[in-house]
Amino acid sequence: MKTPIVMQDLPPDLKPERLPNHVAVIMDGNGRWAKRQGMPRIMGHKRGVDALKDLLRCCKDWGVKALTAYAFSTENWNRPLEEVDFLMTLFQRVLRQELREMMEENVQIHFVGKLDVLPRSLQAEIERSMAETQHNQDIQFTVATNYGGRQEILEATRAIAHLVQQGKIQPEDIDAALFESHLYTKNTCDPDLIIRTSGEMRISNFLLWQMAYAEIYVTDTLWPDFNRSEFHRALSSYQQRDRRFGKV
Ligand code: IPE
Ligand code: IPE
Ligand code: MG
């Protein structure tokens, strides 16, 4: 289902030169949204996809160059099997359906997380979409799937330990740049703004290394209800912040 485009241009009160380069969203509250409508949780996930599609379009319209969405955490496997199965099937179907539009819209899609344990058919769809869109340049869209910040840091540490063991590098060579080059996010800049919906004041294992100096914005709105006006509010809040990065 196509979401109608409400507004094309950046709202006049937002300053283009003060937009975040990279916005990351913790899309939370799908289950609660569905429950409030008297529907099963999975309906919330379906509606959540529409909200994400509209946010991606909005980022493109307004000039945000990178968007990362947290779709499935390493802890989400602990949910009921039917919900996990539904989500995996949903990811695969949406990817297949949206590929053409992503090509038309010049979206470069990328996935971060431990992808090699996902269902094979989903892995194939992921590889195909990343390969086909790799030269697109209007916006970089990253989907965190089976993503865990701790897992990512552990994997990087293990890979670097191997390099030291093989004598390819010395322990003194390990600096932030080398470490980052072993993270899933090696091709993306750090997020400037992290938005979490549904009011929870926590990080839930998202981008632990990368969010060192990200601005955090939490809204009580549940993810399926997150729309352009909500995003506008988040960006207004971001533009009023004083990012000091430890300076005075
Ligand atoms: C976020 O919504 C989507 C995923 C984690 C996949 P939830 O499913 O966590 O919704 P709530 O938090 O239970 O309402
Ligand atoms: C965070 O939401 C993960 C995603 C949005 C994919 P959760 O619903 O899993 O987080 P908790 O359990 O409330 O911390
Ligand atoms: Mg949740």
Residues 93-123: pLDDT tens digits? 999 999 999 999 999 999 999 999 999 999 9
Tokens 């997380």 belong to residue:
113
Tell whether ligand 1 has an atom less than 6 A from the beta carbon of residue 30: yes
Given a cut of 90, whether residue 90 has pLDDT beyond it is yes
Decide: 149 and 205 in contact? Cβ < 8 Å.
Answer: yes
pLDDT of residue 246: 97
Whether residue 32 has its Cβ less than 6 Å from ligand 1: yes
Place of tokens 């009921």: 80
The whole-number average pLDDT for the span 238-243 is 98
Residue 6 has pLDDT above 50, yes or no: no
Residue 238 has pLDDT above 70, yes or no: yes
Q: What is the pLDDT of residues 136-152, one digit of tens each?
A: 999 999 999 999 999 99
**Reported pTM:** 0.96
* C-alpha dihedral, 91 to 97 to 100 to 101, nearest 10°: -80
Residue 192 has pLDDT above 80, yes or no: yes
**What does the DSSP 8-state code read for residue 138?**
S
pLDDT per position as a tens digit, 204-224:
999 999 999 999 999 999 999
Kindly list the distances between the CA atom of residue 73 and the CA atoms of 87, 117, 143, in Å, as whole numbers in the listed order: 12, 13, 11
Ligand positioned closest to the Cα atom of 224: 1
Residue spans per domain, the chain: 18-152+191-238
Residue to substitute in 68, 77, 204, 223 for testing ligand 2 pocket (most ligand atoms within 8 angstroms of CB): 204
What's phi and psi for 167, nearest 5 deg? 75, 15
**Closest protein CA for atom 10 of ligand 2:** 204
Check residue 8 and give its pLDDT. Answer: 76
What separation in angstroms does the CA of 60 have from each of 70, 96, 100, 141, 153? 18, 21, 16, 10, 30
Assess whether the C-beta atom of 27 lies below 6 angstroms from ligand 1: yes
| Helical axes 81-104 vs 120-133, angle rounded to 10° | 20
| pLDDT greater than 90 at residue 33 | yes
Which ligand does the CA of 222 lie closest to? 1
**55: CB partners within 8 A, 6+ apart:** 25, 67, 69, 226, 231
| CATH of the structural domain 18-152+191-238, one choice from 3.40.640.10, 3.40.1180.10, 3.30.70.1880, 2.130.10.10 | 3.40.1180.10
Least confident span in 7-21, 70-84, 131-145? 7-21
Please, is 83 exposed, middle or buried when counting C-beta atoms within 10 Å of its C-beta (0-12, 13-18, 19+)? middle
Confidence of residue 5 (pLDDT cuts 50, 70, 90): very low
* Ligand 3 center from residue 218 Cα (angstroms): 14
Share of the chain above pLDDT 90, in %: 96
Q: What ligand 2 atom has the least distance to the C-alpha of 144?
A: 6
Q: Which of 30, 83, 143, 204 gets mutated to test ligand 1 (max ligand atoms within 8 A of its CB)?
A: 30
